[in-house]
Amino acid sequence: GNSVTQMEGPVTLSEEAFLTINCTYTATGYPSLFWYVQYPGEGLQLLLKATKADDKGSNKGFEATYRKETTSFHLEKGSVQVSDSAVYFCALSRGETSGSRLTFGEGTQLTVNP
Amino acid sequence: GAGVSQSPRYKVAKRGQDVALRCDPISGHVSLFWYQQALGQGPEFLTYFQNEAQLDKSGLPSDRFFAERPEGSVSTLKIQRTQQEDSAVYLCASSPGVAGGLTDTQYFGPGTRLTVL
């Protein structure tokens, strides 16, 4: 079946540090890949997505590239801010006829200190 | 515009009670999903509706869980005879399309935190 494995957290960084959160997946066919973010006290929000191999999703300074050869979708940001502190979830969907149900990783808690 | 809303935001139930959780999707969205998120875990799929049709209920953990979307808009997730292991955040999400493509982005509600004592 489909699965997503995320880098274990929590991750603690200083402001302006470089961020990488690793994500690898297992799926048949060609899934779409997503990063969702959950800020404290808020619901899940889509951060970025990529729908085919070699696509790069980007938003708010975050980037992730769909690497089919390594089945990965690592999240990166060049300079994190305190406001980036949140839980980040990697997810995939197969776009099957029964709907694009999402399969999530376990989440990575990021704390950015001033 | 209005996003996905869920009510109640918090629910405390005694073991054995029935609960009903409501989801109001974004107007016009065809697809509606329910997920269960245990503490410290990622959300897990429960069930999927396309309009009023429940096309996939493979994620429902037991026959105590029941979901409906009778008019293709508002959905209710019902849990009968609640157990402690049902304690979790229940998330609802909607999307404009049905599968694949650019319309399959899911928009999540804030969730209902259910605590079963």
Please give the Cα distance from B91 to B5 (Å, whole number): 10
- SS3 at position B102: helix
User: What rounded mean pLDDT belongs to chain B?
Assistant: 92
Assess A3–B contact: CB distance below 8 Å, yes or no. Answer: no
Contact: B100, A49; criterion CB under 8 Å: no
For residue B25, give how far its alpha carbon lies from the nearest alpha carbon of chain A (Å). 14
Q: What does pLDDT average to in each consecutive run of 10 residues of chain A (114 residues)? A: 89 97 91 92 91 93 96 97 96 73 94 96
pLDDT of residue A7: 83
> Taking CB atoms and an 8 Å cutoff, what residues of chain B touch A46?
105-107
pLDDT of residue B6: 96
Contact: A100, B31; criterion CB under 8 Å: yes
Contact: A95, B109; criterion CB under 8 Å: no
Query: How far is the CA of B72 from the CAs of A76, A103, B92, in angstroms?
Result: 39, 24, 14
CB A11 within 8 A of CB A66: no
Which pLDDT tens digit goes with each residue over B65-115?
A: 999 999 999 999 999 999 999 999 999 999 988 655 555 788 999 999 999
